[in-house]
Structure 1
Amino acid sequence: RDVPRHLFVPERRQRSAYGDFPLPIGYGQTISQPYIVALMTKLLKPEKDDVALEVGTGSGYQAAVLSQIVETVYTVEIITPLGKAAEKRLNEMGYKNIIVKVDDGYFGWEQYSPFDCIIVTAASDHIPPPLIKQLKKGGKMAIPVGKPFQVQKLMLVEKSEEGEIRIKN
Protein backbone atom coordinates (compact mmCIF):
# COMPACT_ATOMS: atom_id res chain seq x y z
CA ARG A 1 0.00 0.00 0.00
CA ASP A 2 1.06 3.57 -0.44
CA VAL A 3 2.23 5.53 2.57
CA PRO A 4 0.14 8.71 3.05
CA ARG A 5 2.89 11.31 3.56
CA HIS A 6 0.42 13.99 4.68
CA LEU A 7 -0.21 11.99 7.88
CA PHE A 8 3.48 12.26 8.79
CA VAL A 9 3.73 16.07 8.70
CA PRO A 10 2.24 18.70 11.02
CA GLU A 11 -1.36 19.58 10.15
CA ARG A 12 -0.43 23.07 8.97
CA ARG A 13 2.01 21.51 6.44
CA GLN A 14 -0.36 18.87 5.04
CA ARG A 15 -1.23 20.88 1.92
CA SER A 16 2.48 20.79 0.98
CA ALA A 17 3.01 17.15 1.95
CA TYR A 18 3.36 15.81 -1.60
CA GLY A 19 5.79 18.42 -2.88
CA ASP A 20 9.30 17.12 -3.59
CA PHE A 21 11.00 18.98 -0.77
CA PRO A 22 11.72 18.43 2.92
CA LEU A 23 9.24 19.82 5.46
CA PRO A 24 9.79 20.85 9.09
CA ILE A 25 8.36 18.41 11.64
CA GLY A 26 9.43 20.22 14.81
CA TYR A 27 12.46 20.16 17.11
CA GLY A 28 14.65 21.49 14.29
CA GLN A 29 14.07 18.33 12.24
CA THR A 30 12.58 17.71 8.80
CA ILE A 31 10.84 14.93 6.92
CA SER A 32 13.07 14.09 3.94
CA GLN A 33 11.94 15.03 0.46
CA PRO A 34 10.21 12.12 -1.32
CA TYR A 35 13.02 11.85 -3.89
CA ILE A 36 15.60 11.22 -1.15
CA VAL A 37 13.35 8.69 0.62
CA ALA A 38 12.95 6.80 -2.68
CA LEU A 39 16.65 7.06 -3.60
CA MET A 40 17.93 5.83 -0.23
CA THR A 41 15.41 2.99 -0.19
CA LYS A 42 16.34 1.97 -3.75
CA LEU A 43 20.10 2.04 -2.96
CA LEU A 44 19.58 -0.56 -0.23
CA LYS A 45 17.74 -2.97 -2.57
CA PRO A 46 15.67 -4.26 0.37
CA GLU A 47 13.94 -7.64 0.12
CA LYS A 48 10.84 -8.99 1.84
CA ASP A 49 12.66 -11.14 4.40
CA ASP A 50 15.15 -8.40 5.35
CA VAL A 51 15.49 -6.88 8.79
CA ALA A 52 16.22 -3.15 8.58
CA LEU A 53 17.54 -0.53 10.98
CA GLU A 54 16.61 3.10 10.55
CA VAL A 55 18.55 5.75 12.44
CA GLY A 56 16.52 8.95 12.81
CA THR A 57 12.84 8.01 13.02
CA GLY A 58 11.62 11.59 12.76
CA SER A 59 7.90 11.42 12.01
CA GLY A 60 8.10 7.73 11.05
CA TYR A 61 7.60 8.18 7.30
CA GLN A 62 10.79 6.46 6.08
CA ALA A 63 10.16 3.55 8.48
CA ALA A 64 6.62 3.23 7.10
CA VAL A 65 7.94 3.17 3.53
CA LEU A 66 10.55 0.52 4.39
CA SER A 67 7.98 -1.55 6.29
CA GLN A 68 6.07 -2.08 3.05
CA ILE A 69 9.08 -3.94 1.64
CA VAL A 70 10.95 -5.67 4.49
CA GLU A 71 9.96 -8.07 7.25
CA THR A 72 10.83 -5.82 10.22
CA VAL A 73 12.04 -2.25 10.72
CA TYR A 74 13.81 -1.26 13.93
CA THR A 75 14.00 2.52 14.17
CA VAL A 76 15.84 4.73 16.65
CA GLU A 77 15.09 8.40 17.40
CA ILE A 78 17.18 10.54 19.75
CA ILE A 79 14.53 13.26 20.28
CA THR A 80 12.05 11.83 22.79
CA PRO A 81 8.89 13.72 21.72
CA LEU A 82 9.50 12.83 18.04
CA GLY A 83 10.13 9.17 18.85
CA LYS A 84 7.05 8.88 21.08
CA ALA A 85 4.82 10.66 18.53
CA ALA A 86 6.13 8.48 15.68
CA GLU A 87 5.53 5.31 17.69
CA LYS A 88 1.96 6.39 18.49
CA ARG A 89 1.28 7.40 14.87
CA LEU A 90 2.67 4.16 13.42
CA ASN A 91 0.71 2.04 15.91
CA GLU A 92 -2.52 3.94 15.20
CA MET A 93 -1.96 3.47 11.45
CA GLY A 94 -1.62 -0.28 11.93
CA TYR A 95 2.08 -0.76 11.19
CA LYS A 96 2.84 -3.99 13.05
CA ASN A 97 6.38 -4.60 11.77
CA ILE A 98 7.99 -1.36 13.01
CA ILE A 99 9.62 -1.17 16.44
CA VAL A 100 10.55 2.30 17.71
CA LYS A 101 13.14 3.09 20.38
CA VAL A 102 14.11 6.47 21.81
CA ASP A 103 17.90 6.42 22.07
CA ASP A 104 21.08 7.62 20.38
CA GLY A 105 21.10 6.00 16.95
CA TYR A 106 24.86 6.46 16.64
CA PHE A 107 25.13 3.18 18.53
CA GLY A 108 22.52 1.39 16.40
CA TRP A 109 20.45 -1.32 18.07
CA GLU A 110 22.84 -4.15 18.83
CA GLN A 111 20.18 -6.37 20.42
CA TYR A 112 18.57 -6.99 17.01
CA SER A 113 21.69 -6.92 14.84
CA PRO A 114 22.99 -7.84 12.37
CA PHE A 115 20.81 -5.92 9.91
CA ASP A 116 20.38 -6.62 6.21
CA CYS A 117 20.06 -2.92 5.57
CA ILE A 118 20.61 0.25 7.55
CA ILE A 119 19.24 3.62 6.54
CA VAL A 120 20.47 6.73 8.33
CA THR A 121 18.23 9.75 7.83
CA ALA A 122 20.30 12.16 9.94
CA ALA A 123 23.62 13.49 8.66
CA SER A 124 26.79 12.48 10.47
CA ASP A 125 30.28 13.88 9.95
CA HIS A 126 31.52 10.28 9.69
CA ILE A 127 30.13 6.76 9.36
CA PRO A 128 29.54 5.45 12.91
CA PRO A 129 31.64 2.31 13.55
CA PRO A 130 28.85 0.63 15.59
CA LEU A 131 26.59 0.78 12.52
CA ILE A 132 29.24 -0.85 10.31
CA LYS A 133 29.64 -3.57 12.95
CA GLN A 134 25.86 -4.18 13.04
CA LEU A 135 25.57 -4.50 9.25
CA LYS A 136 25.13 -8.12 8.16
CA LYS A 137 27.64 -9.64 5.73
CA GLY A 138 26.16 -8.93 2.30
CA GLY A 139 24.28 -5.94 3.76
CA LYS A 140 24.06 -2.30 2.72
CA MET A 141 23.84 1.03 4.54
CA ALA A 142 22.81 4.41 3.11
CA ILE A 143 23.98 7.44 5.10
CA PRO A 144 24.35 11.17 4.42
CA VAL A 145 27.83 12.28 5.50
CA GLY A 146 28.62 15.92 6.21
CA LYS A 147 27.55 18.72 8.50
CA PRO A 148 23.81 18.99 9.20
CA PHE A 149 22.05 21.59 7.00
CA GLN A 150 25.15 21.93 4.78
CA VAL A 151 26.33 20.05 1.71
CA GLN A 152 26.31 16.32 2.40
CA LYS A 153 27.31 13.28 0.37
CA LEU A 154 25.03 10.28 0.28
CA MET A 155 27.27 7.30 0.94
CA LEU A 156 26.54 3.64 0.30
CA VAL A 157 28.37 1.24 2.60
CA GLU A 158 28.46 -2.39 1.51
CA LYS A 159 29.75 -5.28 3.60
CA SER A 160 30.87 -8.23 1.48
CA GLU A 161 30.17 -11.85 2.40
CA GLU A 162 33.80 -11.92 3.61
CA GLY A 163 33.16 -8.92 5.87
CA GLU A 164 35.10 -6.40 3.75
CA ILE A 165 33.73 -2.86 3.70
CA ARG A 166 33.29 -0.91 0.47
CA ILE A 167 32.13 2.72 0.53
CA LYS A 168 30.70 4.51 -2.52
CA ASN A 169 29.37 8.01 -2.94
Structure 2
Amino acid sequence: MHILAISGSLRAASTNTSILRAVAELAPPTVTVTLYNGLDNLPHFSPERDIDPAPEAVATLRNQLREADAVIICTPEYIHGMPGVLKNMLDWIASSGEFVYKPVGVISAGPSDTGGSRAHIALVHTMDVLTANLPEKASLSIPFVRTKLDVTGQVTDSILTQELRDVIDTLIEAVQNRSTIA
Protein backbone atom coordinates (compact mmCIF):
# COMPACT_ATOMS: atom_id res chain seq x y z
CA MET A 1 0.00 0.00 0.00
CA HIS A 2 1.24 3.45 -0.85
CA ILE A 3 0.31 6.72 0.89
CA LEU A 4 1.35 10.09 -0.52
CA ALA A 5 1.98 12.67 2.24
CA ILE A 6 1.62 16.35 1.37
CA SER A 7 2.76 19.16 3.66
CA GLY A 8 1.09 22.53 3.20
CA SER A 9 4.26 24.26 4.38
CA LEU A 10 7.35 25.12 2.37
CA ARG A 11 9.52 25.81 5.43
CA ALA A 12 12.53 23.52 5.76
CA ALA A 13 11.92 23.11 9.51
CA SER A 14 8.14 22.83 9.18
CA THR A 15 6.32 21.15 12.05
CA ASN A 16 3.73 19.96 9.51
CA THR A 17 6.41 18.20 7.49
CA SER A 18 7.78 16.73 10.74
CA ILE A 19 4.33 15.33 11.50
CA LEU A 20 4.29 13.63 8.09
CA ARG A 21 7.76 12.21 8.64
CA ALA A 22 6.46 10.76 11.90
CA VAL A 23 3.54 9.23 9.99
CA ALA A 24 6.05 7.57 7.64
CA GLU A 25 7.97 6.16 10.60
CA LEU A 26 4.80 4.92 12.33
CA ALA A 27 3.37 3.22 9.26
CA PRO A 28 3.42 -0.58 9.30
CA PRO A 29 5.99 -2.32 7.07
CA THR A 30 3.29 -3.09 4.48
CA VAL A 31 2.70 0.62 3.90
CA THR A 32 5.04 3.00 2.09
CA VAL A 33 4.62 6.69 2.87
CA THR A 34 6.19 9.07 0.34
CA LEU A 35 6.57 12.76 1.10
CA TYR A 36 5.58 14.91 -1.88
CA ASN A 37 8.26 17.56 -2.43
CA GLY A 38 7.00 19.46 -5.47
CA LEU A 39 4.61 21.96 -3.91
CA ASP A 40 6.95 24.88 -4.54
CA ASN A 41 7.44 23.86 -8.19
CA LEU A 42 3.80 24.11 -9.23
CA PRO A 43 2.96 27.09 -11.44
CA HIS A 44 0.22 29.48 -10.37
CA PHE A 45 -3.10 27.99 -11.35
CA SER A 46 -5.21 29.53 -14.07
CA PRO A 47 -7.84 27.67 -16.12
CA GLU A 48 -6.06 28.76 -19.30
CA ARG A 49 -2.94 26.90 -18.14
CA ASP A 50 -4.85 23.69 -17.39
CA ILE A 51 -4.30 22.18 -20.82
CA ASP A 52 -3.13 18.87 -22.23
CA PRO A 53 -0.31 18.20 -21.82
CA ALA A 54 -0.22 19.68 -18.34
CA PRO A 55 2.84 21.58 -17.13
CA GLU A 56 5.53 19.10 -16.07
CA ALA A 57 5.24 19.74 -12.32
CA VAL A 58 1.45 19.34 -12.51
CA ALA A 59 1.71 16.13 -14.54
CA THR A 60 4.16 14.73 -11.96
CA LEU A 61 1.79 15.60 -9.09
CA ARG A 62 -1.21 14.09 -10.85
CA ASN A 63 0.75 10.91 -11.57
CA GLN A 64 1.88 10.60 -7.94
CA LEU A 65 -1.71 11.07 -6.77
CA ARG A 66 -2.99 8.43 -9.22
CA GLU A 67 -0.37 5.95 -8.05
CA ALA A 68 -1.15 6.51 -4.35
CA ASP A 69 -3.74 4.35 -2.62
CA ALA A 70 -4.38 7.13 -0.10
CA VAL A 71 -3.19 10.64 0.72
CA ILE A 72 -2.45 12.47 3.97
CA ILE A 73 -2.32 16.26 3.93
CA CYS A 74 -0.93 18.18 6.90
CA THR A 75 -1.40 21.92 6.83
CA PRO A 76 -0.50 24.93 8.92
CA GLU A 77 -2.88 27.85 9.24
CA TYR A 78 -2.01 31.15 7.56
CA ILE A 79 -4.32 34.11 8.20
CA HIS A 80 -7.16 31.78 9.29
CA GLY A 81 -6.93 29.58 6.19
CA MET A 82 -4.79 27.04 4.39
CA PRO A 83 -1.59 28.30 2.76
CA GLY A 84 -1.90 29.64 -0.79
CA VAL A 85 0.57 27.07 -2.16
CA LEU A 86 -1.62 24.24 -0.89
CA LYS A 87 -4.78 25.80 -2.32
CA ASN A 88 -2.94 26.30 -5.61
CA MET A 89 -2.09 22.59 -5.68
CA LEU A 90 -5.69 21.63 -5.04
CA ASP A 91 -6.87 23.98 -7.80
CA TRP A 92 -4.65 22.06 -10.25
CA ILE A 93 -6.36 18.80 -9.27
CA ALA A 94 -9.97 20.02 -9.55
CA SER A 95 -10.32 19.28 -13.26
CA SER A 96 -8.34 16.04 -13.40
CA GLY A 97 -10.07 14.17 -10.56
CA GLU A 98 -7.25 12.34 -8.78
CA PHE A 99 -8.97 12.83 -5.41
CA VAL A 100 -12.34 11.41 -6.47
CA TYR A 101 -13.22 8.73 -3.86
CA LYS A 102 -9.56 8.47 -2.81
CA PRO A 103 -9.12 8.02 0.96
CA VAL A 104 -7.59 11.21 2.35
CA GLY A 105 -6.43 12.02 5.86
CA VAL A 106 -6.58 15.68 6.83
CA ILE A 107 -4.31 16.99 9.58
CA SER A 108 -3.76 20.54 10.72
CA ALA A 109 -1.11 21.55 13.21
CA GLY A 110 -0.47 24.89 14.81
CA PRO A 111 1.25 26.56 17.73
CA SER A 112 -1.98 27.77 19.39
CA ASP A 113 -4.82 26.01 21.18
CA THR A 114 -6.86 25.83 17.93
CA GLY A 115 -4.35 23.58 16.15
CA GLY A 116 -5.02 25.27 12.83
CA SER A 117 -8.74 24.50 13.02
CA ARG A 118 -9.75 27.15 10.46
CA ALA A 119 -7.29 25.81 7.89
CA HIS A 120 -8.54 22.33 8.77
CA ILE A 121 -12.14 23.32 8.07
CA ALA A 122 -11.17 24.98 4.78
CA LEU A 123 -9.16 21.94 3.70
CA VAL A 124 -11.96 19.51 4.59
CA HIS A 125 -14.43 21.65 2.64
CA THR A 126 -12.15 21.74 -0.42
CA MET A 127 -11.59 17.98 -0.25
CA ASP A 128 -15.37 17.48 -0.06
CA VAL A 129 -15.74 19.55 -3.23
CA LEU A 130 -13.06 17.37 -4.86
CA THR A 131 -15.12 14.29 -3.83
CA ALA A 132 -12.39 12.75 -1.72
CA ASN A 133 -13.22 9.99 0.75
CA LEU A 134 -12.61 11.62 4.15
CA PRO A 135 -12.89 9.00 6.89
CA GLU A 136 -13.82 10.73 10.15
CA LYS A 137 -11.04 9.06 12.14
CA ALA A 138 -8.43 10.20 9.59
CA SER A 139 -9.02 13.82 10.56
CA LEU A 140 -6.88 15.45 13.23
CA SER A 141 -6.12 18.94 14.55
CA ILE A 142 -2.95 19.24 16.61
CA PRO A 143 -2.89 22.17 19.05
CA PHE A 144 0.36 23.42 20.60
CA VAL A 145 2.27 21.32 18.07
CA ARG A 146 5.68 22.72 19.05
CA THR A 147 5.30 21.27 22.55
CA LYS A 148 4.81 17.80 21.04
CA LEU A 149 8.03 17.71 18.98
CA ASP A 150 11.65 17.89 20.01
CA VAL A 151 14.21 20.22 18.39
CA THR A 152 14.87 17.67 15.63
CA GLY A 153 11.17 17.41 14.74
CA GLN A 154 10.61 14.01 16.35
CA VAL A 155 7.22 13.47 18.01
CA THR A 156 7.68 13.26 21.78
CA ASP A 157 4.02 13.17 22.80
CA SER A 158 2.61 9.66 23.29
CA ILE A 159 -0.99 10.78 22.75
CA LEU A 160 -0.08 12.39 19.42
CA THR A 161 1.82 9.25 18.43
CA GLN A 162 -1.32 7.18 19.01
CA GLU A 163 -3.51 9.70 17.16
CA LEU A 164 -1.19 9.50 14.15
CA ARG A 165 -1.31 5.70 14.26
CA ASP A 166 -5.11 5.94 14.32
CA VAL A 167 -5.06 8.15 11.20
CA ILE A 168 -2.83 5.63 9.40
CA ASP A 169 -4.97 2.66 10.48
CA THR A 170 -8.13 4.43 9.37
CA LEU A 171 -6.67 5.15 5.93
CA ILE A 172 -5.47 1.55 5.59
CA GLU A 173 -8.97 0.34 6.43
CA ALA A 174 -10.52 2.79 3.94
CA VAL A 175 -8.20 1.57 1.18
CA GLN A 176 -8.99 -2.06 2.00
CA ASN A 177 -12.72 -1.34 1.98
CA ARG A 178 -12.36 0.49 -1.34
CA SER A 179 -10.53 -2.52 -2.80
CA THR A 180 -13.27 -4.95 -1.77
CA ILE A 181 -15.98 -2.73 -3.28
CA ALA A 182 -14.19 -2.21 -6.62
TM-score, normalising length: structure 2: 0.31
The structure with the largest strand share of the pair is 1
The structure with the largest helix share of the pair is 2
Larger relative contact order, structure 1 or 2 (CA cutoff 8 Å, min sep 6)? 2
Larger Rg: 2
